[in-house]
Amino acid sequence: MKIGFIGLGNLGKAMAKRLISEGVELIVWNKTIEKAKELGCPIANTPKELISGVDIIILNLRDSSAVKDVLIKENGIIYGNCENKIVIDTTTNHFEEVLEFYNLLKEKDAYYLESPVLGSVIPASQGLLTILVSGNKTAFERAKFILEKMGKNIFYLEKEGVATKMKLINNLVLGSLMATLSEAIVFAEQSGIDKKQVIDILLSGAGNSMVLNAKKQKIIEEDFTPHFTNALIYKDLDYLQDLAKLLKRPLFTGSIVKEIYATAILKGLENEDFSSIYKLFKYF
């Protein structure tokens, strides 16, 4: 079975490489052709051509606007042979936009699986992502074999829009934890405690988390090459505020944390890893 892949940013490239290492016959398309050439697999000329030549396409794009472009712009997916094909969208989307994507693919007799992932570059390269899936159950069962090559934990939530909402809720925790841990580490450093020792203590106590374990070395070495950027966590928290409005409920910590990441972006940290929020507390 031929699988297509669109979106070769930091996370998308790690996912694609994982699939190739698992023996998947991958064909790719990317806006920046050089990134596609790095993988050494066949490259389609357009998304339209790609969907016409594969059974399943996986998307991993920056946001809902990028997904919509790939679907409907000139030579987009919906202009190809879509009948009975499956689009697995691992992008973190806006919960309202995904409903439009379902309809666009349904009109072309194709299936859309809303499948945001939890985890970043390292778990993606190891096939250890957590994948949240909403959409048609039959399509999910057909696509499950490929999801299992990318993810260790797969949660099927079925109802359209729910997987995306859960991903945004997860990123409320992710962004809040990273900000709190960073502030705590800086407080401790300024109290005269060695940074590495601070982190070891936090990992032995209340700070023990997947977040700190994953970002420990980045903070110690202050190497913030991006796995998941400040721009992306800010985007997700912005989407979450829209969900709060829909639910007619306040968003206390999420709103504050969103503005912390907005400040990081204003300070020029937009494209650094979101763990560079540490620098905001320490140096600005």
Q: How far apart are CA 17 and CA 166, in angstroms?
A: 26
Size of the chain, expressed as the number of residues it contains: 284
* Average pLDDT of the segment spanning 21-25: 96
Rounded mean pLDDT of the chain? 97
Predicted confidence band of residue 3 (pLDDT cuts 50, 70, 90): very high
In order of 101, 209, 249, the CA distances from 108 in angstroms are 11, 43, 37
Residue 55 is given by DSSP the state: S
The helix-helix angle for 162-190 and 252-266 (nearest 10°) equals: 70
Asked if 204 contacts 212 with a C-beta cutoff of 8 angstroms, the reply is: no
Q: How far apart are CA 121 and CA 11, in angstroms?
A: 5
> What local confidence, expressed as pLDDT, does residue 13 receive?
96
Q: Which CATH number fits domain 165-283: 3.40.50.970, 1.10.3720.10, 2.60.40.10, 1.10.1040.10?
A: 1.10.1040.10
Number of Cβ within 10 Å of residue 220's Cβ equals: 13
Two structure tokens written together for 231: 């721009």
Q: How far apart are CA 171 and CA 62, in angstroms?
A: 15
Domain spanning 2-160: CATH 3.40.50.300? no
Q: Is 251 helix (H, G, I), strand (E, B) or coil?
A: coil
Predicted confidence band of residue 56 (pLDDT cuts 50, 70, 90): very high
Q: Is 65 helix (H, G, I), strand (E, B) or coil?
A: helix
Q: How far apart are CA 54 and CA 3, in angstroms?
A: 5
In order of 24, 105, 108, 208, the CA distances from 81 in angstroms are 21, 11, 8, 49
Return the closest-CA partner of residue 154 out of 124, 101, 118, 102. 118
> What local confidence, expressed as pLDDT, does residue 79 receive?
98
Predicted confidence band of residue 275 (pLDDT cuts 50, 70, 90): very high
> What local confidence, expressed as pLDDT, does residue 282 receive?
97
Two structure tokens written together for 150: 């990318």
* Average pLDDT of the segment spanning 199-228: 97
Q: What angle do CA 46, 96, 141 make, to 5 degrees?
A: 65
Q: How far apart are CA 229 and CA 258, in angstroms?
A: 13
* Average pLDDT of the segment spanning 55-84: 98
Residue 274 is given by DSSP the state: G
Predicted confidence band of residue 2 (pLDDT cuts 50, 70, 90): very high
Beta bridge partners of 247: none
> What local confidence, expressed as pLDDT, does residue 78 receive?
98
Digit-coded pLDDT (tens) for 112-124: 999 999 999 999 9
Q: Domain residue spans in the chain?
A: 2-160, 165-283
In order of 40, 118, 149, 166, 236, the CA distances from 170 in angstroms are 34, 8, 22, 6, 10
